Amino acid sequence: MRTFLIILIWLIANNQHFIVGKSMVINSAIDPAIDYFTDIVSRNVVEEKIDNERLVKEWQDWVLANPIVVNYLNSLMVLASRQDFAFIIPLGYSVKCIKNIGSFRQTISQLALEMRTAIGGAREDLNRVHIGMERVPTELKNILVYMKIAPFEFLLMSFPDSFKEIEKIVNDSLVVLSKPGKAFQQVLNLLTEIDHLLTSATSDLIISWQIKDIKIQWTCLTELIIELSKRAKTTSDAFLLQFNWILNEFIRPEMTLADSHRDFMIALLLPKIIEIDQTSDLLGIITIAYTDISFQYTDEQIGGNGHLLLLPNEDIRKRYLKQFRYELLPQVIQSARIALDRHTKFLRRDRNRKKDYDKLLASISINDLVDLLG
């Protein structure tokens, strides 16, 4: 409905009547717009809109699972140092993830290694995504400068380049985000199998509960990684659909681009540009928050915990368990502050996002184009 109003207002403002006999230039520019308008009205607009609501609401809780899950893992390793035992495999069950069914302790060592690899790899990958997302707003604003004031001949050359630059950033992020997604799912599968087999192998309820708690927290982290990848994919699809249409229908050598046509392109693209800006901003704050939390609290703890499986006596075990319980709350509070600070700044930017783009459009001048060209 919003797109319909934009096009209707634009048509009235420019007194465009769809009459046979108008110039080829106007028809070639407006007819595709009518076709496009007819097409989008027939779709479910709600489904096409980039929906970041779940990620906005949930990401702070999900990212806090990072320090919690490592703390729980360390406690589990202390508990596993008490005794070793073999898993009892139910009749007909095929083991898929556990490498050594004869040793629970070795399985926890396998779990720790896979978690360490997944968390460390995710920090590096998400940091790369954050660096890419920081470039998106600049590229979006460059596109607006090109569309508003660049000579048409220059627009033919430069607009596709800016378009391809954003496409590359988003596609690179998709590739990067697919890596931790697979690693986190692999760990979740291992946890699920341990949880499934543990009931048959031991009556130690504390270990069983600890595995279940780790699985809950790891599920949160996996949800975070999956949702980040979904948002990047949705952004990429929406971006390609609308910007490719503009390229195909307006930015062609045989076209003559009037000022009214520039206004139409901007009116059509601006809502999508704002959505893409919002999504890239959201992905950026989440990835940097995850990176900061991992760097400050997670990497060191998960990187040097192998000795916990070999603790020799109960006094040492009790000391470690008490230490981990004592450390958990301060780590979660500090991590929550990091996430809240990033989230608060995002919400502040988001409230002013439309207004900031309107100000940008109103203030664009030839000097902006000169600065852009260097």
pLDDT per residue of the chain (374 residues) written in tens, 0 to 9: 333 333 333 333 343 333 333 333 334 444 444 344 334 333 333 334 556 788 888 899 999 999 999 999 999 999 999 989 889 888 889 999 999 999 999 999 999 999 999 988 888 888 888 888 888 888 888 888 888 888 877 777 776 677 677 777 777 877 777 778 889 999 999 999 999 998 755 567 889 999 999 999 999 999 998 888 887 777 777 666 767 776 666 666 666 667 777 888 888 888 888 888 888 899 889 989 998 998 888 877 777 788 999 999 999 999 999 999 999 999 999 999 999 999 999 999 999 999 999 999 999 888 888 887 76
Q: How far apart are CA 139 and CA 247, in angstroms?
A: 16
Q: How far apart are CA 349 and CA 357, in angstroms?
A: 11
Let me know: does 272 contact 45? Beta carbons within 8 Å. no
List Cα–Cα distances, 83 to 202, 204, 207, 233, 358, in angstroms.
Answer: 11, 11, 11, 46, 66
Q: How far apart are CA 163 and CA 240, in angstroms?
A: 9
Positive or negative torsion for Cα 203, 206, 209, 213:
negative
List Cα–Cα distances, 35 to 1, 99, 260, in angstroms.
Answer: 16, 58, 18
> Which pLDDT score, from 0 to 100, does residue 322 have?
96
> Which pLDDT score, from 0 to 100, does residue 57 have?
87
Let me know: does 280 contact 349? Beta carbons within 8 Å. no
| pTM for this predicted structure | 0.78
Q: How far apart are CA 30 and CA 249, in angstroms?
A: 9
> Which pLDDT score, from 0 to 100, does residue 261 have?
76
| Other CB atoms within 10 A of residue 327 CB | 15
> Which pLDDT score, from 0 to 100, does residue 222 have?
92
> Which pLDDT score, from 0 to 100, does residue 155 have?
73
> Strand, helix or coil at 42?
coil
Residue 63: is it exposed, middle or buried by C-beta count within 10 angstroms (0-12/13-18/19+)? buried
